């Protein structure tokens, strides 16, 4: 009988710890941050539980992470790709003629992420402000704009449905290199256009050959963690470097990046850095 009660004691007090450990492994990034959405695992510091530094929502039916804010008309903004090397996330921004500028800013801006300076926004509706498209190096052929307007079904929504009535705003020319304090879209430039809606967006992508191409219907978000590298709040993993970054709000944040030739998210609380398959 003594051995029986000893067995029950061990079962009650040891089994929960074993279960928690298994859950932590499955979630990725420790038991405080669940990084799994259906069959998809996202890189740290992203995740789907309150313990994650940057919390996303999850559409488990299609194993797809989405931004936590839903548009006024119920639009969900799905994450297309993560890039730990550049500390960016690409999200879909389908053409729409009913997405106001304030709504777009609210959806695409979080406590720890913002629209990158490689993203250009196409605006429509009113646009009575100063057109900064030429100065920003953001111009698109009329044929492309016509297709975007048709896709968004803007016909019949006013007198400004021609391609010429669409303003394009980007933060820097396509061939420039952003400084540490110039990595994010300037919403002040967007608001100066005095347009009603954000039609869609495009992301400047450099191919392996070094040529520039534009991906329409997508927006790139740059992210950071709070505090500077000197603060050591979120520690970088071994074989990773820490870089301070000035956030859109003017404060300093930081990022971790694995050394050249290594893969991983760069954080000690995540997957760290490791040699990829050759």
Residue length, the chain?
Answer: 278
Residue 10 pLDDT more than 60?
no
1 has pLDDT over 60 = no
* The predicted structure's pLDDT at residue 131: 55
212 and 151 in a common domain: yes
Q: If you average pLDDT over residues 82-100, what whole number do you get?
A: 92
Distance CA 37, CA 8 (A): 35
Distance separating alpha carbons of residues 80 and 203, to the nearest angstrom? 13
d(CA 125, CA 127): 6
d(C-alpha 160, C-alpha 157), whole Å: 8
Are the beta carbons of 72 and 197 closer than 8 angstroms?
no
Quick one: 157 and 205 in the same domain?
A: yes
Mean pLDDT of the chain: 79
Same domain, 93 and 208: yes
Residue carrying the six token digits 């053409």: 95
User: In the beta sheet, which residues pair with residue 246?
Assistant: 252
61 and 94 co-located in one domain: no
Residue 92's closest CA among 216, 209, 243?
Answer: 216
3-state SS assignment for residue 230? coil
Please give the pLDDT value at position 126.
80
Report pTM.
0.80
Domain interval for residue 97: 88-222
Report pLDDT for 14: 31
Percent above pLDDT 70 for the chain: 74
Same domain for 53 and 96? no
Q: Please check the confidence at residue 110 and state whether its pLDDT lies above 90.
A: yes
Weakest-pLDDT range from 22-26, 68-72, 146-150: 22-26
- CA-nearest of 95, 88, 83 to 122 is 95
Give how many domains the chain has, as a whole number: 2
Q: What are residue 272's phi and psi, to 5 degrees?
A: 70, -150
The two tokens of residue 18 are: 């074993």
Question: Is there a single domain that holds both residue 58 and residue 111?
Answer: no
Q: Is residue 240 part of a domain?
A: no
State residue 130's pLDDT score. 59
Taking 90 as the threshold, does the pLDDT of residue 166 lie above it? no
Nearest to 202 by CA among 94, 40, 47, 43: 94
């Amino acid at each position: 009988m003594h051995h029986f009660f000893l067995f029950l004691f061990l079962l009650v007090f040891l089994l929960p710890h074993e279960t928690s450990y298994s859950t932590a492994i499955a979630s990725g990034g420790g038991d405080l941050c669940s990084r799994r959405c259906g069959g998809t695992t996202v890189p740290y510091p992203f995740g789907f539980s309150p313990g994650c530094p940057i919390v996303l929502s999850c559409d488990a039916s299609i194993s797809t992470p989405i931004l936590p804010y839903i548009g006024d008309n119920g639009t969900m903004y799905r994450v297309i790709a993560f890039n730990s090397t550049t500390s960016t996330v690409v999200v879909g921004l389908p053409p729409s003629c009913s997405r106001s500028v304030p709504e777009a800013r609210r959806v695409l801006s979080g406590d720890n992420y913002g629209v990158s300076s490689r993203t250009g926004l196409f605006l429509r509706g009113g646009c009575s402000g100063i057109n900064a498209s030429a100065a920003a190096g953001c111009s698109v052929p009329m044929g492309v704009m016509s297709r975007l307007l048709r896709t968004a079904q803007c016909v019949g929504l006013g007198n400004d449905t021609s391609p010429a009535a669409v303003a394009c705003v980007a933060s820097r020319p396509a061939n420039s290199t952003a400084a540490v304090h110039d990595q994010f879209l300037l919403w002040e430039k967007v608001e100066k256009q005095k347009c009603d809606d954000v039609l869609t967006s495009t992301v400047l992508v450099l191919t392996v050959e070094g040529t520039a191409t534009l991906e329409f219907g997508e927006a790139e978000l740059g992210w950071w963690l709070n505090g500077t590298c000197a603060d050591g709040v979120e520690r970088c993993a071994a074989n990773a470097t820490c870089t301070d970054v000035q956030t859109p709000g003017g404060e300093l944040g930081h990022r971790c990046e694995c050394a050249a030739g290594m893969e991983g998210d760069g954080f000690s609380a995540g997957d760290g850095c490791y040699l990829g398959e050759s």
